[in-house]
Amino acid sequence: SSRNIARAKRHLRIRRHISGTATCPRLNVFRSLGNIYAQVIDDVAGTTLVAASSLDKDLNLSYGGNVAAAKAVGEAVAKKAIAKGIDTVVFGRGGS
C-alpha cells in the first residue's frame, strides 16, 4: 500500500543521516503489540553491543506492552550500556 511505501521511504531517509559508531552507537527501539525491545548498535562494525527486551527473565514483567515495561527495558539497556562504557547514543527513530 502507499502507506507502507511512504514508511519505507521515511525509514531510508532517516537512516541515511543517522548512523551509530563505536564511540556513539545507535539506540534502536522496537515496540510490538505485546512487548518492547531495545538495542544499542554499532553500524560501522554491524554488531549489536547491548540489548534488552520485556521478554528478559531478569526483568520479571507480567506484561511487556505497557509504560512500566518500557521504563524497565530502558533502565536495563542503560545499565548494560554503562557497564560496557557507553555513555552517549544517537536515537535511531526507525522511520515510524
Kindly give, in sequence order, each residue whose CB lies less than 8 Å from that of residue 39, ignoring residues fewer than 6 positions away. 27, 28, 48, 50, 51, 77
- Residue 42 is part of a domain; what is its CATH number? 3.30.420.100
Position 19 scores a pLDDT of 77
Using CB atoms within 10 Å of the CB of residue 40, give its burial: 0 to 12 exposed, 13 to 18 middle, 19+ buried.
Answer: buried
For the cut 90, the answer to whether the pLDDT of residue 85 exceeds it is yes
For the chain, how many structural domains are there in total? 1
Position 34 scores a pLDDT of 93
Position 13 scores a pLDDT of 85
- For residue 87, give the nearest of 32, 31, 40, 24 by alpha carbon: 24
**Which cell numbers hold the place of 69?**
515495561
**Which cell numbers hold the place of 67?**
509504560
Position 49 scores a pLDDT of 95
Query: What range does the domain containing 68 cover?
Result: 2-92
For the segment 13-61, what is each residue's pLDDT rounded down to a tens digit?
887 777 778 788 999 999 999 999 999 999 889 999 999 999 999 998 8
Position 96 scores a pLDDT of 54
pTM here is 0.81
Residue 95: pLDDT band with limits 50, 70, 90:
low
Span 55-71, mean pLDDT? 92
